[in-house]
Amino acid sequence: MLRTGRNDVCWCGSGNKYKNCHLAFDQRLENYAIMGEEVPEHSMIKTPSQIQGIRHAGVINNQILDIVSENIKAGMSTEDINTLVHENTIRLGGIPAPLNFEGYPKSVCTSINEVVCHGIPDPKRIIKDGDIINVDVTTIVDGFYADASRMYCIGKVSPEAEKLVRVTKESVDLALKECKAWGHLGDIGAVISEYIYANGYTVVREIGGHGVGIAFHEEPWVSHIGTRGTDMLLVPGMIFTVEPMVNAGKADVVQDSKDGWTIYTTDNSLSAQWEYTILITEDGPEVLAR
């Protein structure tokens, strides 16, 4: 492959000469690669204009989740949440990414209690007092994607359920501290799994976070059980989600054979999840959607 010449325009789309833009950055990556580090491809490093677009998608995604936060309550169906997300997404100028994604039939995922993720909204599933529910919203704005989910404790939930929800959120906030430029992707899963295991819970292994922004699911895959100092180097311009699924019982999960989407805990224990979309910058992480 032909390398970018020093006086060519930079690959990042800034319009500047390569030598005045990403040349030093690329040399740094090359040196890390020579030292045996796994470095991201350029396709995993967003350009300034892509970052602007994804940041804006994040603002809209946050607004939609804020509307869910203000309205969700016992007595509503998960289909009502779907309607709320769908209508507000369109009103705010976005497209709900889940709708028709690989055949997914709705505009949002609603995962209650022992449902780990990818729960399909259903007019017959009424949200009850004592339920814990994850609402996972992904929005496309001007072609850019942002992805985040929040947990809700409906009415009076058991202290056990409340703790699971709180500890899961805390694990994401701890992981955020590891989202440093020139750190390792494995540090994220390491802090999450250490914190979760210390609280007596388990972490789902089969489903991870993912690069996001130009498409729904991009590289890299983000494991929530990792080893410090391993996996890909974190580089400014990378955007990915951290979205651990934490089970009160065993880690094992199973997919619903009838709908092909819903993921349950095999032992029917409670499961919680929080998801942020995170940008790596030289000055630390920027949460684009939460």
Known binding-site positions for a divalent metal cation? 136, 147, 210, 243, 275
218 binds Co ion (CB under 5 A): no
Which residues pair with residue 218 across a beta bridge?
A: 211
Size of the residue set binding ligand MF3 (CB under 6 A):
12
Q: Binder to ligand MF3 among 80, 187, 218, 275 (CB under 6 A)?
A: 275
Q: Measure the CA–CA gap between 257 and 235, rounded to whole angstroms.
A: 39
263 binds ligand MF3 (CB under 6 A): no
Site for ligand MF3 in 13-72 (CB under 6 A): none
Question: What six digits make up the tokens of 249?
Answer: 């019982």
Q: Binder to ligand MF3 among 80, 114, 131, 147 (CB under 6 A)?
A: 147
- Mode of pairing for the β-strands spanning 202-203 and 144-153: unpaired
Q: Binder to ligand MF3 among 138, 193, 265, 277 (CB under 6 A)?
A: 138
147 binds Co ion (CB under 5 A): yes
Q: Which residues contact 22 (CB under 8 A, 6 or more apart)?
A: 10, 11, 12
- Mode of pairing for the β-strands spanning 284-289 and 263-265: unpaired
Residues contributing to the annotated binding site for substrate: 118, 217
Q: Measure the CA–CA gap between 10 and 204, rounded to whole angstroms.
A: 40
Q: Select the span of 11-19, 78-86, 97-105, 226-234 touching ligand MF3 (CB under 6 A).
A: 97-105
Q: Measure the CA–CA gap between 264 and 256, rounded to whole angstroms.
A: 7
98 binds, among Co ion, ligand MF3, none (CB under 5 to 8 A by kind): ligand MF3
Cα dist from 154 to 85, 213, 260, 264, whole Å: 18, 31, 27, 20
Closest approach, Cβ 205 to Co ion, in A, equals 16
Closest approach, Cβ 119 to ligand MF3, in A, equals 9
For ligand MF3, the nearest residue by Cβ is 98
Per-residue b or e along 163-174, where b marks 16 or more CB atoms closer than 10 Å to that residue's CB: bbbebbbebbee
Question: Which residue type is seen at 232?
Answer: M
187 binds ligand MF3 (CB under 6 A): no
187 binds Co ion (CB under 5 A): no
Give the long-range contacts of residues 259-262, CB within 8 A, separation 24 or more: 259/120, 260/103, 261/104, 261/118, 261/119, 261/120, 262/111, 262/115, 262/118, 262/119, 262/120
Residues contributing to the annotated binding site: 118, 136, 147, 210, 217, 243, 275
111 binds, among Co ion, ligand MF3, none (CB under 5 to 8 A by kind): none
Size of the residue set binding Co ion (CB under 5 A):
4
Q: In this complex, which beta carbon is closest to ligand MF3, that of residue 18 or of residue 144?
A: 144
Contact, 132 vs 153, CB < 8 A?
A: yes
Cα dist from 227 to 172, 187, 222, 231, 246, whole Å: 16, 6, 12, 8, 18
109 binds ligand MF3 (CB under 6 A): yes
Closest approach, Cβ 103 to ligand MF3, in A, equals 8
Q: Binder to ligand MF3 among 136, 178, 218, 231 (CB under 6 A)?
A: 136
Q: In this complex, which beta carbon is closest to ligand MF3, that of residue 12 or of residue 176?
A: 176
* Helical packing angle, 159-177 and 186-198, nearest 10°: 150
Binding site for ligand MF3 (CB under 6 A): 98, 101, 104, 109, 118, 136, 138, 147, 241, 243, 261, 275
